[in-house]
Amino acid sequence: MQKRLTFLLFACLVHFSLFSQESLGIQLDNYSGINATGINPAGYAMTPFGWDINLFGGSSFFENNYAYIKPARLSDLLKSPDDLSIYFGPDVTDENLIPKGQYAIDFYKNNNPRFANLSNDIMGPSFYLRLNPNHSLGIITRARIAGSGGGISNNLSYYVYDPQPFFEDFKVDAFRFGMMAWSEVGLNYAYRTETTRGTLAIGLTAKYLQGYEAAYWTNEDAFQLTKLPGDSLSGTALDFNYGYTNSNISSDNHSLQVNGRGMGLDLGLVYAQTDGEENYKWKIGVSVLDIGKISFNQNAQAHHVQTDQLNIVGTEIYQSLDAAEEFEEKIRVFSEQMLGDPGASLKDTRFDMWLPTALSIQFDLALAKKLYLGSALVSQIPIGKEGVRRKGLLSVSPRYESRWFSASMPISLYNWSSLRTGLAVRLAFLTIGTDNLGSLVSRKDLSGYDFYFAIKVNPFGFGKTAGENGGKALRRSGKGKQMPCYKF
C-alpha cells in the first residue's frame, strides 16, 4: 500500500511543482523594492528608489521528511518526468546496482513526526510609487499554490508500518493536511518618518483573494489502529473532517474556476538605526503575514466522519488512482465503510480555508561598506482549523550589495531540523536564487528543492521621486526636518 501511495505522491509533485518558502535572496536585499513586501509590507520603504516595478517573478519550494529520491537533483527529475525509471528503495540491497541515470525512492528512518510542505508563487506585474518622502503606494498581484501536512505519526513511516505485526495496536497522532490554489490583488501603503536617531516605516497590504481549488483533512485527536491481513485495518474511535473542491475532477476541460473569495492582510514595521550617519548601522523589521481566509462556496464539499469504533476496513481500493474521476467514488466508498451510507459523510457544500499566517522578524547589520549580515525568523501562527500552515525558518545571510550587483549566501534551519545553504545573485534587474543549493547542484538524497527569480525595472539612478529631486526628497520629511538619504 505505502509503495503505491508514495510513487503517486512523487509523480504528482514532479508534474505539479514546475514553477521558495521565503525567497530570502530577493526579499532581504536593500534594492529588492516591491518584492520586499513578501516578507514585510514596509520592507521597501527605505530603498533609495522613488518607484520600482516587478515585471514577473516566481518561486517554488517543496520539503518533506517522509521519503526521498536518490541519488538525484531537481534537474534530473524535470528533464523527462514521464520517462523516469525509479526503483523502490527498500528492494535495493546495494545502491551500486542502480544504473546510471536512474533513481530509487526510499524512506527516512528517524523518529520525527512526518511533514510535507509545498509553496509555489508567481508574482505578476506589481509596483510601488513614492508619493512624497513619507508616503508610498503599491499594487501587488500574485498567484499562489500552497500545501502543508504535519503531525503525521512516525508509526505510519514505511520502515515502522511495513513490519508492524498483525493484530497489534499502534498509535496515530492528531494530524492535519491542507492544500489551496488562489490569486491575490493587494493594495500596499507604507508610511516613513524620522525618529530621534533613525527612521521608522510602517506598512500594510490589504489583499482581495480568489480561491480556485482546495482540499483539507484533519484529525484533532489521536486514535489506535490495528493492522490486519489482506490490506485491512481496524481501530478505535476516530473523528475526521475533510473537504475539497471538485470543479476539475469530473471535467475533461480543465480550467481555472473561481470557487471562493476572501480577504487577507499583511502588517509590518521596519526601524533603521542611523546614529546620525547617512548609512544605517542596523535595521530590524517585524511583520505578520497572511492574516485571512477564503470561503469556498462553489463546487465545494465538506465531510465529517465520526465513529465510536473502526470496524474492519479494506484499504486496497485506496492504493491507486488511475483517473481523477475515481476520487469522488473513493470518497463515497469511505463514507459507506465508516458510516454505512455512501452519502452520510457529506455535511455541507461550503468550507473556509485559512492562509498560512506567520510572524516574521528580520534583522540586518551593516558590517562595512557594501557588506551586510542579514537574518530572518519565520514562525507559523496557527489560526483556524482548516487551512495551510507554514513551517518555521531561521536564517543568517552574509551579503555583498551594490546598485548593480549583489550576492548573498543564506544559511537556514528549516522546520528547526533541516540545515540548508543557499545562493542568490542579482545582476541589474534580474535576480535568481535558491535557499537550498544542494537540491540543484548535487546528486544526493533529494527530499525537497527551492528556486526563485525576479525580473524588474527601477530608476537607473536615484533621481526624482514624486516631483522632487531624489536626494532632497529622501532627506526631507514632511515637517522640514533632516531625513537620512541612505547610501547602499
- 77-123 per-position pLDDT tens digit: 887 766 777 888 888 877 767 777 788 999 999 888 899 999 999 99
The position carrying cell 507559523 is 380
DSSP annotation of 96 reads G
Closest by CA position to 104, among listed 77, 79, 78: 77
Q: What is the pLDDT of residue 472?
A: 33
C-alpha cell at 384: 483556524
Closest by CA position to 122, among listed 457, 429, 451: 451
Report the topology of domain 2-475: Porin (2.40.160)
CA distance 153 to 280: 47
- The four Cα atoms 146, 147, 148, 154 give a dihedral, to 10 degrees, of -150
CA distance 458 to 195: 28
Q: Are 123 and 66 contacting, i.e. CB atoms less than 8 angstroms apart?
A: no
Q: Are 32 and 26 contacting, i.e. CB atoms less than 8 angstroms apart?
A: yes
Closest by CA position to 102, among listed 133, 59, 70, 142: 70
The position carrying cell 463515497 is 332
The position carrying cell 548535487 is 442
Q: pLDDT digits over 269-315, tens only?
A: 999 998 655 678 999 999 999 999 999 999 999 999 999 888 888 88
Q: Are strands 198-219 and 444-446 parallel, antiparallel or unpaired?
A: unpaired
Phi, psi (degrees; rounded to nearest 5) at 255: -155, 160
Q: Are 386 and 216 contacting, i.e. CB atoms less than 8 angstroms apart?
A: yes
Our measurement of the distance from residue 12's CA atom to the centroid of its chain's CA atoms, rounded to an integer in Å, reads 17
CA distance 19 to 451: 8
CA distance 55 to 455: 6
Query: Residue 370: left (phi > 0), alpha (psi -120 to 50), or beta?
Result: left
Collect all residues with Cβ–Cβ distance below 8 Å to 228 and sequence separation of at least 6: 166, 167, 234, 312
What does the domain layout of the chain look like in residue ranges?
A: 2-475
pTM of the model: 0.87
Q: What is the residue-level pLDDT of the chain in tens, covering all 488 positions?
A: 444 444 444 444 333 333 345 566 667 788 999 999 999 999 999 888 999 999 999 999 999 999 999 888 888 888 776 677 788 888 887 776 777 778 899 999 988 889 999 999 999 999 999 999 999 999 999 999 999 999 889 999 999 999 999 999 999 999 999 999 999 999 999 999 998 889 999 999 999 999 999 999 999 899 999 999 988 999 999 999 999 999 888 666 677 899 999 999 999 999 999 865 567 899 999 999 999 999 999 999 999 999 988 888 888 888 777 777 788 889 999 999 999 999 999 999 999 999 999 999 999 999 999 999 999 999 999 888 899 999 899 999 999 999 999 999 999 998 888 889 999 999 999 999 998 998 988 888 999 999 999 999 999 865 443 323 333 333 333 343 433 444 43
Alpha-helical regions (H) of 47-194: 74-79, 158-161
C-alpha cell at 186: 493587494
Q: Are strands 282-296 and 358-368 parallel, antiparallel or unpaired?
A: antiparallel
Q: What is the pLDDT of residue 84?
A: 75
3-class SS of residue 13: helix
For residue 378, what are the β-bridge partners?
360, 393
Closest by CA position to 136, among listed 203, 83, 222, 71: 203
Cα angle vertex 378, ends 39, 403, to 5°?
40
